[in-house]
Amino acid sequence: MSAAGTARTYEPRVPDGVDVTRPSIARIYDYVLFGKDNFAVDRAAAEKLMESGLDRRHALANRAFLGRAVDFLAHQGIAQYLDLGSGLPTSPSVHEVARDTIPAARVVYVDHDPIVVAHNDALLATGDGVTTIRGDIRDPDSVLAHRALTECLDFSQPVAVLLLSVLHFISHEEDAPAIIAKFRERLAPGSYLAISVGTSDGADPDMLAEATQTYAGARMPFMLRSRAQILDLFDGFDLVEPGLVSLPEWRPAFNTDRTPLKGPTVAAVAQLRK
């Protein structure tokens, strides 16, 4: 892991207004996924997290869950996706997986990080139903009112809302259930919600303390929830099988790594209750 960081001989271009003296959640995640769109401060933060027990398998398992979940949703006929807190582009992206089944699938990626938006615009904005907007999921009204979103997605038809590895950066005071409720109110019958999130159940206290301190450097809270609190996030939705389970246990493919992960992350997909 450290060798990968020392082998780096360049830094990506910095968009105007980006502070590279503080780590970014999206860029930390990019580094953990062996990406190149990160800076020294992000790599240092990522190494601290991995030393505390949040190793790369968490990020890789989360990306694998994204692929399986979107593939499942596409086979249910879902042709519209709202990826909240999408992070930097990593292949296969949501639209790539969905379009394997539904070639005309439309996707809106949302992130508050300007580097994410810049890279997504360059790599993912195909002009045919894939777009990225800069927005903060803690302000759902602004996200839902964004012109690019309303032009791309038709909320009179089913939409899949994806909140993958993002809700543990929403504090209790910021009220994740109320945020999700705002999006739920806009959804048509047949819509879905997919969530992956860290849980406090079984979490190592030392790992949690280290992660909390590291993310504080990125000016972001790190808030794990109990299983009961996570189930509350699905209010108004019915979980599909196998329910709320650890990442590797959600509809595993034949090659899914099912090794237990330290500091468990759980995931579920649910359909809007009729």
- For residue 15, count other CB atoms closer than 10 A to its CB: 12
Query: Could you name the CATH architecture of 56-272?
Result: 3-Layer(aba) Sandwich (3.40)
Adjacent-strand bridge partners of 239: 270
Q: Can you read off the two tokens belonging to residue 195?
A: 């969530």
Measured in Å, how far apart are the chain's first and last C-alpha atoms? 48
For residue 242, whether the previous peptide bond is cis, meaning omega lies within 30 degrees of 0, is yes
Query: Of 238, 226, 158, nearest to 198 (Cα)?
Result: 226
Note whether 86 and 132 are within 8 A (CB): yes
Report CA torsion sign: 178, 179, 182, 188.
negative
How far is it, in rounded angstroms, from Cα 79 to Cα 122?
Answer: 23
How far is it, in rounded angstroms, from Cα 60 to Cα 94?
Answer: 15
The DSSP code sequence of 232-269 is HTTTTEEEPTT-SEEGGGSS--TT---PPPSS-EEEEE
Domain coordinates in residue numbering, the chain: 56-272
- pTM reported for the whole predicted model: 0.81
**Tens place of pLDDT for every residue, the chain, 274 residues?**
344 444 444 555 555 556 667 777 677 767 766 677 777 777 877 677 666 666 677 778 888 999 999 999 999 999 999 999 887 767 788 999 999 999 999 999 998 877 777 766 666 555 689 999 999 999 999 999 999 999 999 999 999 999 998 898 888 889 999 999 999 999 999 999 999 998 877 666 666 666 666 665 556 667 788 899 999 999 999 999 999 999 999 999 877 666 666 657 899 999 999 7
Which residue in this structure is represented by tokens 């769109």?
37
